[in-house]
Structure 1
């Protein structure tokens, strides 16, 4: 059975009102993607099949950005740390820019669309120093399909097909050679 677009398994409070600060639609804007080897990129394949890349907590990877944006990264860090402190007082673990913040859709005018939040699959794209390769995984607690693989509600072949599709789109648009690695939780 092929994968279906789904809402994330859970959404943290800050993710209800934000879009990932490094939101890149790889089909529409592939030149925005700079494959910096120190950065772990998050990715999702939305319900329309587009692959969106982003970075959770981009201030941790200052060296991957032009110095002109460093002051903005510092402001982001201060904002998200304050938000996290607030949610901690409420006994709620919060993050800053996880997979749900990549699944947003926009209409032609730039407004957020009502399809926001649905994705087929998501995970991480990172450079593996040991193999000298860029590796795309389904490492995501919200869209990775690992728990569904474990439960048997999705088939491994369908997850692999989706991973291969995402890797192919990234390679076609950026020229980056990407291998896949299935993560079973």
Structure 2
């Protein structure tokens, strides 16, 4: 890697570190804020769950594209997946700032399964932020050997987060008021 790219990567890594810390902290802080006298945005959960599903499809299509050698389509699909993830985050926060959290009503094994999926989804959604950003940055800087190495970790984690986002929604949707 050239010295210029190395300097650029260091600059981006600082920004990625900041974003990777600020986003989870901001989401946690905003989660506790309720906007008074605002109509709950109760229509959002099926929309942001669908966006998670679209993200999963985009990620799989992206892998197919790169395996077929279509770098441009691969890049476009991944950029769109990042935009979808950002849209999901904005809608998720907006929903929780205007609506009370929904309690899962299932019992027995299904309750433990739900909480396992939910907790791993939440934890990995935090972990995935720097992975996605570093993977994207390495591709943008043309550092494809390093991009490929981290993408092998990023892809399954991000796909898991996208798919479990849909599963969590489907499991809790009967309990929305």
More helix by share: 2
Higher relative contact order (CA 8 A, sep 6+): 2
Higher Rg: 2
What range is the shorter-chain TM-score in? under 0.3
TM-score relative to the length of structure 1: 0.27
More strand by share: 1
